[in-house]
Structure 1
Amino acid sequence: MLSVDLNKYRGLIFDLDGTLLDSMPHHVRAWIQTAREHGFEIDPKLIYAWGGISSQDVVRRFIDMGYPAGDVDLFVKRKVELYREHINEVKLFAPIEKILKDAHDRGQLIAIASGTQRVNGEDTLRLHHLEKYVDALVCADDVTHHKPHPESFLTAASKLGLSNEDCLIFEDGKLGIEAALAGGFDCVEVQEGEMIKFYKSK
């Protein structure tokens, strides 16, 4: 397992889906079902590759590919409904949960910066009893530019009252890692709940 000195950072910022939360299979299932209801099939690999971008941008990409997705907001609304039907089944990645809680107990500040809708983010914190550990929550609703733009991470750091140099990002997605580095943050890549690679900001 990758070893990183977490104590050198005043704040830790976590992506949610696929990083802290083992939720991507549930999101993919909801996207596939919504697409089928609209009369087309999608490759699940696309959803994993696009991890971190907003749901609206996912649908716009479907439309650009020629799929009959229809109204963007209605498509997203239906996808969110389907995901939320199973939100109680989604589990945390235990090793990343431990990193988050241990950091909080050491006095470090904690933020979540996610491309999910705020209602999902808030419910996730509530369902997993994480509210007391998280000092700031930034979701798709809170920013104009989504990953790979660094706005979500910069906003999270600002909410913590910290600079980018004071924070370490935890991310599973390629676009999220690009966003972290673009914002001048150090970043740890996480896969299946394990830290696998450290990226130093330039």
Structure 2
Amino acid sequence: MIKAFIFDMDGVIIDSEPLHFELNRRVMRDFGLELPDETFHPYVGITNEQMWAELIDRYRLNTTVAELQEKESLLKPEVFRDLQPIKGIRELLANLKRDGIAIGLASSSVREFIEMVLEKLEIRGYFQAIVSGEEVERSKPEPEIFLRAAKLLNVKPADCVVLEDAMHGVIAAKRAGMKCIAFQNPNSGRQDLSRADKIVHTLENLDYRLFGPCYPKRG
């Protein structure tokens, strides 16, 4: 039975992971480091705060997480100036709304960036609940962000389906007791999505009914 559908954002709603990799490279370049995209693949799906903390330790950088986040914020408007939705997203949202399925979003990105993306794509109105990475204590792969989204939607975890593109997100969804569809986005780096209930290579004509009948949420 499906009562709610919860989206990740980066790599699912927008094909943003290559842009995040570019942004990360430019920040690290200020410290004399030229790093390939593969350096950042393991951090897909977790919060930037956690990623920067680990990179500071790994490369022994003489800086702080706050300073790296500030550099990131200054570069982000230029790097993310031309955002486009992934093919199939608009149709999927419209179909979920038509079927009366509650729609949520659980992203490790910060709330300001999430709101900017949804407003820019003119899809903000579809989402009845949004949880950002800064609003939970434990980021993906811990299940807290998805459990919080389900609570806001007033739907049991077992009645939720999650759409993810990253290993950390898939693990979080399964730990939350939810069904998970994994989108094998080639731009999200090498991700082990084997724990997902279903792996797809396109979001066009996505059949979310494969986990059972849709049951419109009441009230």
* Fold agreement, TM-score > 0.5: yes
Is the contact made by 1:49 and 1:173 (CA closer than 8 Å) also made in structure 2? no
Cα displacement (A) at 1:85: 2.2
Cα displacement (A) at 1:29: 0.6
Unaligned runs of 5+ in 2: 187-192, 199-219
Is the contact made by 2:102 and 2:128 (CA closer than 8 Å) also made in structure 1? yes
The residue that corresponds to 1:31 in the other structure is 24
The residue that corresponds to 1:147 in the other structure is 140
SS in 2 for 1:170: strand
**Distance in structure 2 (CA, Å) of the matches to 1:69 and 1:152:** 31
**Distance in structure 1 (CA, Å) of the matches to 2:172 and 2:164:** 10
Query: What is the aligned-residue RMSD (CA, Å)?
Result: 2.0
Is the contact made by 2:23 and 2:79 (CA closer than 8 Å) also made in structure 1? no
The residue that corresponds to 2:98 in the other structure is 105
The residue that corresponds to 2:14 in the other structure is 21
Q: Which amino acid in 1 is paired with 2:81?
A: N
The residue that corresponds to 1:199 in the other structure is 197
**Distance in structure 1 (CA, Å) of the matches to 2:115 and 2:143:** 21
Q: Which amino acid in 1 is paired with 2:94?
A: K
Which residue, out of 3, 25, 29, partners 1:10?
3
The residue that corresponds to 2:70 in the other structure is 77
SS in 1 for 2:137: coil
**Distance in structure 2 (CA, Å) of the matches to 1:69 and 1:29:** 21
Is the contact made by 1:113 and 1:156 (CA closer than 8 Å) also made in structure 2? yes
**Distance in structure 1 (CA, Å) of the matches to 2:142 and 2:77:** 27
The residue that corresponds to 1:91 in the other structure is 84
Cα displacement (A) at 1:16: 0.3
Identity over the aligned pairs, expressed in percent?
27
* Further displaced range: 93-102 or 20-29: 93-102
The residue that corresponds to 2:160 in the other structure is 167
Give TM-score scaled by structure 1 length: 0.88
**Distance in structure 2 (CA, Å) of the matches to 1:29 and 1:49:** 15
**Distance in structure 2 (CA, Å) of the matches to 1:20 and 1:10:** 20
Cα displacement (A) at 1:192: 3.1
Is the contact made by 1:22 and 1:92 (CA closer than 8 Å) also made in structure 2? yes
Structure 1 runs, 4 residues or longer, greater than 3 Å off: none
Q: Which amino acid in 2 is paired with 1:41?
A: E
The C-alpha deviation readout for 1:141-190, integer Å capped at 9, x for no partner, is 21111000111111111111111011100000001101111111110001
What is the aligned residue count? Answer: 192
Is the contact made by 1:104 and 1:133 (CA closer than 8 Å) also made in structure 2? yes
The C-alpha deviation readout for 1:33-66, integer Å capped at 9, x for no partner, is 0000122233311322211111111111112213
**Distance in structure 1 (CA, Å) of the matches to 2:24 and 2:113:** 15
SS in 2 for 1:100: helix
Unaligned runs of 5+ in 1: 1-7
Is the contact made by 2:163 and 2:180 (CA closer than 8 Å) also made in structure 1? yes
